[in-house]
Amino acid sequence: MLPLIHFVHGKESGPWGRKINYLSEIAKAEGFDIESLDYLDAGEPQARVERLLAACAERKPDILVGSSMGGWVAATATAMLPVRGLFLMAPAFYMPDYPPHRLGCDGSRIDIIHGWRDGVIPFQHSVRFRQEHHCTLHLVDDDHRLAQRLDLLGDVFVAFLKRTMQM
């Protein structure tokens, strides 16, 4: 059985948005199975965590990948769902309407990529998370969607996958 990556989309995107489509093709080429649930009808972050945990009850993912609210969801799920790695894109940490995140994944197994020009979630939130959890942070010249630098996003993701699976 191939290792499994579970993607968790953001608040208003869908399970097969541009970034997830792009990264899932890379993951398949690197030898991973892919899962991506639809969370659009589960508006609250904690409801999304519960859906993710239920979906992972039979087959646990090796890696969680989350974007925006999905980053908060994926990180919080690791408090109850051990994974080998956590890849986050502009995660919604320290947002006023969100409960505090929980984390069960060691910082050495976490990579974050965040755009300097993000107008939705300030990049400083990822800097703060990096300082608290000692993970890897990539700040790029892009906005919240990271759409202008998909090439760089893909390069960072491939390096993360290779490093994580060797740990």
Beta strand extents in 26-163 (DSSP E only): 33-36, 63-67, 85-89, 110-115, 136-140
**Ranges of each domain in the chain:** 4-166
Residue 167's pLDDT is what?
83
Residue 65's pLDDT is what?
98
Average of per-residue pLDDT values in the chain: 96
Cα–Cα distance for residue pair 4/64, rounded to 1 Å: 9
Q: How many CA atoms lie within 13 A of 166 on its CB side?
A: 6
Ranges under pLDDT 50 in the chain = none
CATH no., domain 4-166: 3.40.50.1820
CA Rg value for the chain = 14
Provide the sign of the torsion angle of the four alpha carbons 115, 73, 134, 127, taken in this order: positive
Residue 164's pLDDT is what?
97
Residue 43's pLDDT is what?
81
Question: Do residues 92 and 117 touch, judged by C-beta distance below 8 A?
Answer: no
Helix (H) or strand (E) holding 6: strand 4-8
Helix (H) or strand (E) holding 8: strand 4-8
Q: How many beta carbons lie within 10 A of that of residue 71, not counting itself?
A: 28
